[in-house]
Amino acid sequence: MTEFKALVVSEQDGRYVSNVTTRQIDDLPEGEVLIRVKYSSLNFKDALSASGNKGVTRNFPHTPGIDAAGVVESSSVPELSAGDEVIVTGYDLGMSTSGGYGEYIRVPAAWVLKRPEGLSLRDSMVLGTAGLTAALCIDKLEQAGMIPGQGPILVTGATGGVGSIAVAMLASLGYEVAAATGKATQADFLKGLGATRIVERSELEAGKEKPMLKEQWAGAVDTVGGDILFNVVKSLKYGASVVTCGLTAGTQFQGSVLPFILRNVNLLGVDSVEQPLVVKASMWDRLSLQWKTDLHNLEKEIALDDLPAEIEKILAGKMVGRVVVRLD
């Protein structure tokens, strides 16, 4: 087989248009491993790529999709064989390298992990980059001393991919979870994931002019950035930490050193894209075993042809939970 279906984003009259079309395997980039993709997922970065954001993807036409799970078709390295079920998340996949919204990808072997035994290919894409990021965030907070019973753990952007998985995972690990969102209609959804308190976004936006705010949070996962992030910093309990991994509310904030000095708090960062493969493998093992979480309440499956409409939805801030893309 030399042809396959893929979502291709192209520039037309100054606009970026997404269409499902036919591509040739020979057009894929060089790499040691050719993978037949079974599932992918939809992330905010995918939507940025599909809308022509040059900070994500510079060259078009292009096939986005920073996540992919499938079966090895061919491999030139001994560690991977035809028939192996594998996952690829991050690195350059779906950015400058043709991504998971095609029925085939060809990538370096250094990007490829064998599917953890505790997860199906579909399960791995319900998680995808969002689940990996949530796991890295929780791991970093626990390394900084966070344990259940210290008080509420705040999750901002809680209806999004990383946020919703973080809420569900933290609740399953025994934490008291406060879920922050600008979508008041999704309160029942978040409580169904395990949140015990819903925090309106306006509450987190108040007081940005103040150097300190009332102590509330024993830890926090921030997926939005901006002034909300620093308001969270100013609201941490003594010695607590917030880990940040997103920027939908902005890349800058007005800050002060006072919370760090007077409350001994920590602002931590997480990146899931360029983590060494051994770190990703460790997190995937946790996600498939001791941190395995029931996520059926937050996932939705679509076909490749449905992607353009879902991309518009996530760009408009209307997507909730996780969208799994079925390619086979």
pLDDT at 215 (0 to 100): 97
Q: How confident is the model at residue 249 (pLDDT cuts 50, 70, 90)?
A: confident
| pLDDT per residue as tens digits for the range 101-153 | 999 999 999 999 999 999 999 999 999 999 999 999 999 999 999 999 999 99
C-alpha distance from residue 108 to each of 18, 70, 80, 269, 290 (Å) = 26, 15, 11, 27, 29
CATH for 129-269, options being 1.10.3720.10, 3.40.50.1820, 3.40.50.2000, 3.40.50.720:
3.40.50.720
Asked whether the predicted pLDDT for residue 1 surpasses 70, the reply is: no
For residues 195-201, average pLDDT: 96
* Percent of residues, the chain, with pLDDT higher than 70: 100
Lowest mean pLDDT among 65-79, 118-132, 178-192, 249-263: 249-263
CATH of domain 3-115+298-326: 3.90.180.10
- Are the C-beta atoms of 90 and 130 separated by less than 8 Å? no
Per-residue confidence (pLDDT) for residue 326, from 0 to 100: 97
Task: List the domain boundaries for the chain.
Answer: 3-115+298-326, 129-269
E strand segments, the chain: 3-12, 15-24, 33-41, 67-75, 85-89, 104-107, 113-114, 153-155, 177-181, 197-200, 219-222, 241-244, 266-269, 299-303, 322-326
pLDDT digits (tens, 9 = 90+) for 62-101: 999 999 999 999 999 999 999 999 999 999 999 999 999 9
**N-term to C-term CA, the chain:** 14
State yes or no: pLDDT of 205 exceeds 80. yes
Confidence tier at 298 by pLDDT (50, 70, 90)? very high
